[in-house]
Structure 1
């Protein structure tokens, strides 16, 4: 194991030593002391900053996978009970095409964890090597910049009286009670913070359509929500105090980072998304915008922020729309509107801040809805044609 991890162990040792040297240059104690604890915290921040782009991809991939769950379930239901090789291959092809279309992958959300695990194992082995390097029993005289003198200084550094290289299961010859109390507190905090981050992703940032109890992904996330903290609750007794400090600091970073992402970029249809929309609506009301202006902005945002272009009669006819003012008014829910063909306003018609009357505003809303329906119908027809063509090709 050490042979495989040795390059990463060497890099971890140099990062910790470099951060410790920087802290001592700023005036902290150069020997045993809190500078080594802060070096572990610095290592945590360094690793988190490196994997930050991957974390963004993980959040986006997880969100896309949650949104796609209804479509994934439709494909799985389509091939339910079909165990032949051709059906299984077609199911995989359709799922792959669906993931490719939306730019995601079922494995993209695992990338940050996969990258961090070697770092965590290497840190575990580096901390495990410190006592042996200090005693002169390590396989070599040093590990990167960590020689016997540096290892002895690290050995004497503590967190609330517990040595960084000690663990709950191996507290060492002295401070047994202190080591086990500190280790137990850190393990419990690590499990609680892990549970909190998983619960945010599972309950607050997941759309209702994906929270079906029969949904396999939702089941898996619920198992992870309760199972992962329990696993680390029992396996954490073997981790050194330094590893627990790294892990707890990483979980605190995750809570802050995840809270920011969920608040500012939540999954559409989730509880966090509804809360964000309510905050934005209140802010716009405080700015003096009317309900109609807010609805206009929300419609633009739902279409991706694109501005709705004015539609002439020729375009309206091509889209299958009818130029009938009474129909526009009926769709908008208005009872009586009087409008002339020459565009002259009837007496008593008031114009809002946008320069439109109620009838003109209702007409524009109706035009947009009709155009959206026409586009949706055209897309559905194209999909049906492509599906028929693909079916014919496969049958051929």
Structure 2
């Protein structure tokens, strides 16, 4: 395995050594063994996360598109349900591929960050495994890591637990109880943080249409919600304390990054999206915007994000439906005197309400033109039929 991972191991060792050098020479941390080596592992986590940030953005967008497309995916699956012949299976795959291609996504795009991180994680595992052997002279230097550097790393601890020790090799350490406690706490934190991040994605940032218990994608998400932490519970005991520190720091980064994305860029139709729309509505009301204007803008944003805009209802229709008290007037019905003159105007000289009204009127005009064209085509078709009858 070292032969395959050798380039990544060499790169990982140089990144850790460079961060350690910066911490000791620029920030005054003690050279040799000490917290600088622990922080170098944390620094490696930050470097890796920053490098894969574009992939993470792609993963978020791919996951969101897949969730939004679930109703259409289910239609295709129902269409070919029970058809096991080769032709039907091939057509189903072709229709699914065409759907993903149309919306610019792929079911595998959400796995990219994990696929990139796994070689780095295994390389770090092998680098930490090589440190004791380098310190004892059993193998040659690894990049900048020589005997002296390896010994300093070996003597660096996290609450008395050496970075290269693991739960399974605790008996070989000078303080085996410390190793077991630190490793156990880090593994427990990994399990809890992984469960939390998966639950955020599954329950809070998934549209209601995708949360059908019969939906295969939703089932997969639920399996991951409970399965991945369970796997970490057993696999974490085999990793060194340094790897667990890397993993724990990565999970903390994930929680912060994911919380920001879900709060500021949630999936349309999800609980997080409704909470964001409510926050924006309250913010606009605090700025002096009326309830009707805030509702109109919220509907415009929902339509732009791929949601469905609630169509304005006239007062007569509202009376028939028994909703007169809850009528939301259309932008076209908002009178000029109802607009707050102190409202902030944009570069085009319009307020948000005036801009919303213009958008509404433009759509109404487009609908009228479209309707007129349809009627014209019908008349032509009728005239052609009359001529053929003669």
TM-score w.r.t. the length of structure 2 is: 0.81
Q: CA deviation at 1:333?
A: 5.5
Q: Secondary structure at the match of 1:30?
A: coil
Task: Give the alignment of 1:137-216 within 5 angstroms.
Answer: 137-138=138-139, 141-171=140-170, 172-216=172-216
Cα pair distance change 1:165/1:374, threshold 3 Å: farther
Q: CA deviation at 1:286?
A: 0.5
Cα pair distance change 1:333/1:371, threshold 3 Å: farther
Q: Report the more deviating stretch, 168-177 or 53-62.
A: 168-177
Which residue number corresponds to residue 104 of structure 2? 103
Q: CA deviation at 1:300?
A: 2.6
Q: CA deviation at 1:303?
A: 3.5
The alignment's C-alpha RMSD in Å is 2.7
- Contact kept? 2:165, 2:173, Cα under 8 Å: no
Rounded Cα–Cα distance in structure 1 between residues aligned with 2:289 and 2:112: 43
Unaligned runs of 5+ in 2: 306-312, 325-334, 342-355, 374-390
Q: CA deviation at 1:102?
A: 1.0
Q: CA deviation at 1:175?
A: 0.5
Which residue number corresponds to residue 84 of structure 1? 85
Q: CA deviation at 1:352?
A: 1.9
Q: Secondary structure at the match of 1:71?
A: helix
Cα pair distance change 1:292/1:223, threshold 3 Å: same
TM-score w.r.t. the length of structure 1 is: 0.80
Task: Give the alignment of 1:356-395 within 5 angstroms.
Answer: 368=363
Unaligned runs of 5+ in 1: 306-326, 336-348, 356-360, 379-396
Which residue number corresponds to residue 120 of structure 2? 119
Rounded Cα–Cα distance in structure 1 between residues aligned with 2:156 and 2:62: 41
Rounded Cα–Cα distance in structure 2 between residues aligned with 1:244 and 1:218: 29
- Contact kept? 2:67, 2:210, Cα under 8 Å: yes
- Contact kept? 2:42, 2:246, Cα under 8 Å: yes
- Contact kept? 2:9, 2:124, Cα under 8 Å: yes
Rounded Cα–Cα distance in structure 2 between residues aligned with 1:191 and 1:20: 29
Q: CA deviation at 1:368?
A: 4.6
Rounded Cα–Cα distance in structure 2 between residues aligned with 1:77 and 1:351: 54
Q: CA deviation at 1:375?
A: 7.2
Rounded Cα–Cα distance in structure 2 between residues aligned with 1:48 and 1:168: 26
- Contact kept? 2:268, 2:302, Cα under 8 Å: no
- Contact kept? 2:134, 2:146, Cα under 8 Å: yes
Rounded Cα–Cα distance in structure 2 between residues aligned with 1:117 and 1:153: 27
Rounded Cα–Cα distance in structure 1 between residues aligned with 2:82 and 2:370: 35
- Contact kept? 2:208, 2:269, Cα under 8 Å: yes
Cα pair distance change 1:259/1:373, threshold 3 Å: farther
Runs of 4+ displaced beyond 3 Å: 327-335, 361-376
Which residue number corresponds to residue 72 of structure 1? 73
Q: Report the more deviating stretch, 85-94 or 114-123.
A: 85-94
Alignment size in residue pairs = 337
Which residue number corresponds to residue 377 of structure 2? none
- Contact kept? 1:40, 1:242, Cα under 8 Å: yes
Q: CA deviation at 1:41?
A: 0.6
For residues 322-378 of structure 1, give each alpha carbon's deviation from its aligned partner in whole angstroms, at most 9, with x where no partner exists.
xxxxx966356699xxxxxxxxxxxxx9842189xxxxx9999698579569979x9
Which residue number corresponds to residue 16 of structure 1? 16
